[in-house]
Amino acid sequence: MFRVCRIGRAQGLKGEVNVTVFTDEPERRFAPGSVLYDAEGNEFTVERSRTFRERWIVLFRNVTDRNASEALNGTELFCPADSEEEMEAEDAWYPDDLIGLDVYVGDSMETARKIGTVDDVLDSPAQFLLEVLEDADGKRALVPFVEQIVPEIDLENNIVRLTPPDGLL
């Protein structure tokens, strides 16, 4: 299960709540009919959702008034992990999938050289960062996880290829 959001304060009188979003797919996770779960396994079905000034406001089925929505304040909601087939189709990965991959630098795998391994994946305000433990000197480098710098990930062969700008590593 992956954390999707934390319910915040009530919004209005009809049961809507503000949520702190922890997913990069809020449109999908808060689509009407989507089912989320709390830590105890209770289901929360999205009735409707909307954005207002970069915030998400969600109404869950059976949460019909302000008192009910206020009682949910602080509740974290989760969803099941996507299947491997869905993720391959979207060319997506979970952070845990990347940890331990061998890191190569070069314009292609034919000319790339191994420099280390992915030691961690950090969630920064701008984007995810790969923490690379370099083989040569044991130093750690933070690499922005963007397509221009990380053009290739091959989970089958345990490889990530980087094309970093000068001075990044």
Asked whether residue 73 falls in the same domain as residue 25, the answer is yes
The upper half-sphere exposure of residue 85, i.e. CA atoms within 13 Å in the direction of its Cβ, equals 0
This prediction's pTM: 0.55
Task: Tell me the average pLDDT across 58-63.
Answer: 95
Task: Tell me the average pLDDT across 40-46.
Answer: 96
Indicate the pLDDT class of residue 83, thresholds 50, 70 and 90. low
Asked whether residue 60 falls in the same domain as residue 99, the answer is no
Please give the Cα distance from 118 to 140 (Å, whole number): 10
Indicate the pLDDT class of residue 168, thresholds 50, 70 and 90. confident
Q: Of 22, 45, 80, which one is at a domain's C-terminal end?
A: 80
Q: What is the pLDDT of residue 102?
A: 94
Asked whether residue 101 falls in the same domain as residue 33, the answer is no
Q: What is the pLDDT of residue 81?
A: 74
Please give the Cα distance from 92 to 106 (Å, whole number): 22
Please give the Cα distance from 22 to 72 (Å, whole number): 17
Domain count, the chain: 2
CATH number of the domain bearing residue 102 = 2.30.30.240
Indicate the pLDDT class of residue 4, thresholds 50, 70 and 90. very high
Is residue 167, in this structure, part of any structural domain at all? Answer: no
Q: Which domain holds residue 35?
A: 2-80
Indicate the pLDDT class of residue 73, thresholds 50, 70 and 90. very high
Name, in order, each residue with C-beta under 8 angstroms of 46's C-beta and a sequence gap of 6 or more: 30, 31, 32, 33, 34, 35, 36, 58, 59, 60, 61
Name, in order, each residue with C-beta under 8 angstroms of 163's C-beta and a sequence gap of 6 or more: 105, 106, 107, 148, 149, 151
Task: Tell me the average pLDDT across 28-56.
Answer: 94
Q: What is the pLDDT of residue 135?
A: 84
